[in-house]
């Protein structure tokens, strides 16, 4: 197998790479597993050495896990590549694969995957945490599209788990908080797309007081073919940022409008115009990239970072803000708020995301209108302490609309209040976890406080 390595060795450095540099992975030992056999060998090593096991792939969620001190970290980078079955409309994806590889494999067949806003995020971790897609109001929670999960459990057995072979484990692994084993591959349903419109429009943040209420009013009755977000952004003066967006804070509305058949293009254009027409009437955007596009273009719309960086942030699942909530949001995120956050975002939920799916995962739907995500990067005079203090200020301002629940893929840090299951669901998940890992080999891999809502 790949060599188990300790701190200071090249293999350790490779296996412990993370995307959020504010949350480095610091286990006792680490290994990169490229096959099921190597996963099994790593588990045998952990048991001989008396080490609990932690698992990651791309490292995007490093800040949400418990410290890894004294553990063996297995980085999954399973070989084999993405395989698409056009007849069934499914993709089999090895663990460690980023969404960009799935998009590239499926798009030539006219099929879309339920990916998020970044093509660099790993498929497995995203789906096991539920997954909120850029097409989410059409697809629902992305984990509900999972058809099967292949994982090596603590006994070294490779299991292909689906709704027939082990329905309790299949339900629990999709949104249950981890700790069931090492996932080596996943099968997920795709869906046909004939046409789409995607893009982002940016205005000076001075216009947010008019744009935010218009967007909220539209979002309440929007068709489920449309999934959008609104962001107030303070972008750094870097060459990768378009010059008009570096001059000061901006407000952005971005998203995707789906056309599922060849006959849908006129309706797709109509839906886009209903959203964008009133916003463009407020003022001419500084940048406006909304246009008919191809499936690979969608993952570039949100302009997520492509290089690792240190991030400090927060997340809330919110009810409808209304006029008072919109004003509260702008007081802590708007032009004159003094916010140090690079991004203060409201993601549109509802539609299929709010509907329980037959045979879905334990996190099968979301009871909330909006997902708030806020984050800042220590840059220049901005310190981590200033970012964290402002995150607390935003949380206090939005408390009246806080549902008390969270979306696991949006949670930024293990110390934040979180929870997405009720007490009964959390207890059932724990029972399944005890069945497949009775000795608790993966006990540290369970996301802390990710279960029952406080």
Give residue-wise pLDDT tens across range 49-70.
Answer: 999 999 999 999 999 999 999 9
The CATH number covering residue 168 comes to: 3.30.465.10
Q: At what angle are helices 384-397 and 322-333 packed, to 10 degrees?
A: 170
Which tens digits make up the pLDDT trace of 371-429? 999 999 998 899 999 999 999 999 999 999 999 999 999 998 888 888 889 889 999 99
Query: Residue 411 is encoded by which pair of tokens?
Result: 């949670």
- Rg of the chain's alpha carbons, rounded to an integer? 21
Per DSSP, helices labelled H in 192-339 are 208-220, 265-282, 295-298, 322-333
445 in a domain, yes or no? no
Per DSSP, helices labelled H in 356-440 are 384-397, 423-436
Which tens digits make up the pLDDT trace of 376-391? 999 889 999 999 999 9
Looking at the structure, tell me whether residues 397 and 296 fall in a common domain: yes
Instruction: Find, among 348, 330, 345, 363, the residue nearest to 453 by Cα.
Output: 363
Mean pLDDT of 167-175: 97
2 in a domain, yes or no? no
- Spatial separation of the C-alpha atoms in residues 2 and 15, rounded to whole Å: 10
Looking at the structure, tell me whether residues 308 and 379 fall in a common domain: yes
Q: What is the pLDDT, as a whole number, of residue 414?
A: 87
Given 76, 99, 124, the domain boundary residue is 76
Are 174 and 129 within 8 A, CB to CB?
no
- Spatial separation of the C-alpha atoms in residues 264 and 193, rounded to whole Å: 10
Residue 239: domain span: 195-401
148 in a domain, yes or no? yes
Any idea which of 281-290, 303-312, 346-355 has the lowest mean pLDDT?
303-312
Looking at the structure, tell me whether residues 206 and 280 fall in a common domain: yes
Any idea which of 119-123, 177-181, 239-243, 432-436 has the lowest mean pLDDT?
239-243
Query: Residue 111 is encoded by which pair of tokens?
Result: 């099929």
328 in a domain, yes or no? yes
* DSSP summary character for residue 363: S
Mean pLDDT of 161-181: 96
Residue 454 has pLDDT above 80, yes or no: no
Query: Residue 99 is encoded by which pair of tokens?
Result: 């969404």
451 in a domain, yes or no? no
Q: What is the pLDDT, as a whole number, of residue 260?
A: 83
Mean pLDDT of 141-158: 97
Looking at the structure, tell me whether residues 280 and 365 fall in a common domain: yes
Looking at the structure, tell me whether residues 368 and 224 fall in a common domain: yes
Residue 93 has pLDDT above 60, yes or no: yes
Are 82 and 190 within 8 A, CB to CB?
no
Q: What is the pLDDT, as a whole number, of residue 247?
A: 87
Residue 46's pLDDT band (cuts 50, 70, 90): very high
Residue 214's pLDDT band (cuts 50, 70, 90): very high
Q: What is the pLDDT, as a whole number, of residue 239?
A: 85
- Spatial separation of the C-alpha atoms in residues 336 and 234, rounded to whole Å: 12
Looking at the structure, tell me whether residues 252 and 265 fall in a common domain: yes
Residue 449 has pLDDT above 80, yes or no: no
- Spatial separation of the C-alpha atoms in residues 171 and 352, rounded to whole Å: 18
Sole residue written with tokens 């570096």: 246
Q: What is the pLDDT, as a whole number, of residue 451?
A: 63
The CATH number covering residue 381 comes to: 3.40.462.20
The CATH number covering residue 15 comes to: 3.30.43.10
Mean pLDDT of 346-368: 95
264 in a domain, yes or no? yes
The number of distinct structural domains making up the chain is 3
Q: What is the pLDDT, as a whole number, of residue 450?
A: 65
Q: What is the pLDDT, as a whole number, of residue 130?
A: 92
Query: Residue 199 is encoded by which pair of tokens?
Result: 């893009």
Residue 176 has pLDDT above 90, yes or no: yes
Mean pLDDT of 86-111: 97
35 in a domain, yes or no? yes
Looking at the structure, tell me whether residues 338 and 247 fall in a common domain: yes
Q: What angle do CA 65, 142, 117 make, to 5 degrees?
A: 75
Mean pLDDT of 102-128: 96
Looking at the structure, tell me whether residues 57 and 188 fall in a common domain: no
Q: CB 441: neighbour CB atoms within 10 A?
A: 20
Q: What is the pLDDT, as a whole number, of residue 380?
A: 86
Query: Which percentage of the chain shows pLDDT scores above 70?
Result: 98
Q: What is the pLDDT, as a whole number, of residue 133?
A: 97
Given 76, 100, 116, the domain boundary residue is 76
DSSP string, 156-215: S-EEEE-TTT-HHHHHHHTTS-S-S-EEEEEEEE-EE-SEEEEEEEEEEGGGHHHHHHHH
Looking at the structure, tell me whether residues 33 and 91 fall in a common domain: no
Q: What is the pLDDT, as a whole number, of residue 51?
A: 97
Looking at the structure, tell me whether residues 270 and 228 fall in a common domain: yes
Instruction: Find, among 43, 8, 282, the residue nearest to 151 by Cα.
Output: 43
Residue 188 has pLDDT above 90, yes or no: yes
Alpha carbon of 110 to those of 88, 101, 148: distances in Å?
13, 15, 22
Which helix (H) or strand (E) covers residue 292, if one does? strand 291-292
Are 105 and 91 within 8 A, CB to CB?
yes
In the three-class reduction of DSSP (H, G, I as helix; E, B as strand; rest coil), residue 426 is classed as helix
- Spatial separation of the C-alpha atoms in residues 453 and 432, rounded to whole Å: 19
Query: Residue 405 is encoded by which pair of tokens?
Result: 């629940």
Q: What is the pLDDT, as a whole number, of residue 452?
A: 58
Instruction: Find, among 364, 303, 337, 373, the residue nearest to 146 by Cα.
Output: 364
Looking at the structure, tell me whether residues 228 and 167 fall in a common domain: no
Looking at the structure, tell me whether residues 119 and 214 fall in a common domain: no
Report the Cα–Cα distance between both ends of the chain, in Å, rounded.
Answer: 43
Query: Residue 135 is encoded by which pair of tokens?
Result: 């097409």
Spatial neighbors of 286 by CB under 8 A, at least 6 apart, are 202, 203, 204, 244, 245, 250
- Spatial separation of the C-alpha atoms in residues 345 and 313, rounded to whole Å: 11
Instruction: Find, among 333, 320, 317, the residue nearest to 409 by Cα.
Output: 317
Given 76, 100, 125, the domain boundary residue is 76
407 in a domain, yes or no? no
Per-residue b or e along 272-295, where b marks 16 or more CB atoms closer than 10 Å to that residue's CB: beebbeebbeeeebbebbbebbeb
């Amino acid at each position: 197998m790949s060599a188990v390595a300790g701190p200071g060795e090249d293999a350790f450095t490779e296996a412990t790479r993370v995307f959020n540099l504010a949350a480095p992975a610091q286990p006792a030992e680490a290994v990169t597993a490229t096959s099921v056999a190597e996963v099994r060998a790593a588990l045998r090593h952990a048991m001989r050495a008396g080490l609990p096991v932690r698992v990651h792939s791309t490292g995007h969620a490093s800040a949400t896990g418990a410290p890894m001190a004294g553990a063996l970290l297995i980085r999954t980078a399973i070989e084999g590549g993405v395989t698409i079955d056009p007849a069934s409309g499914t993709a089999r994806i090895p663990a460690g694969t980023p969404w960009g590889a799935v998009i590239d494999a499926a798009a030539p067949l006219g099929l879309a995957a339920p990916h998020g806003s970044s093509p660099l995020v790993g498929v497995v971790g995203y789906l096991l945490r539920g997954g909120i897609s850029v097409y989410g109001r059409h697809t629902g929670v992305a984990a509900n599209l999972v058809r099967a999960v292949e994982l090596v459990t603590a006994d070294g057995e490779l299991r292909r788990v689906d709704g027939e072979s082990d329905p309790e484990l299949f339900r629990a692994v999709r949104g249950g908080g981890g700790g069931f084993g090492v996932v080596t591959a996943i099968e997920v349903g795709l869906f046909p797309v004939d046409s789409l419109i995607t893009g982002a429009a940016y205005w000076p943040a001075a216009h947010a007081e008019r744009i935010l209420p218009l967007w909220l009013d539209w979002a309440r009755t929007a068709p489920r073919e449309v999934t959008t977000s609104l962001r107030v952004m303070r972008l750094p003066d870097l060459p990768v940022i378009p010059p008009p967006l570096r001059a000061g804070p901006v407000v952005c509305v971005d998203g995707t409008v789906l056309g599922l058949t060849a006959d849908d293009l006129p309706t797709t254009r109509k839906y886009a115009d209903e959203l964008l027409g009133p916003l463009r009437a407020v003022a001419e955007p500084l940048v406006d990239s909304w246009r008919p596009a191809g499936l690979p273009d969608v993952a570039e719309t949100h302009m997520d970072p492509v290089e690792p960086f240190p991030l400090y942030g927060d997340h809330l699942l919110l009810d409808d803000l209304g006029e008072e909530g919109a004003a509260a949001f702008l007081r802590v995120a708007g032009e004159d708020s003094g916010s140090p956050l690079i991004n203060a975002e409201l993601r549109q939920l509802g539609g299929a995301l709010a509907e329980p799916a037959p045979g879905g995962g334990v996190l099968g739907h979301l009871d909330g209108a909006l997902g708030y995500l806020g984050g800042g990067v220590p840059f220049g005079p901005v310190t981590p302490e200033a970012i964290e203090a402002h995150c607390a200020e935003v949380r206090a301002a939005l408390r009246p609309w806080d549902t008390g629940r969270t979306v696991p893929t949006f949670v930024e840090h293990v110390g934040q209040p979180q929870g997405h299951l009720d007490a009964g669901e959390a207890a059932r998940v724990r029972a399944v976890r005890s069945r497949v890992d009775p000795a608790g080999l993966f006990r540290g891999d369970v996301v802390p406080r990710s279960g029952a809502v406080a």
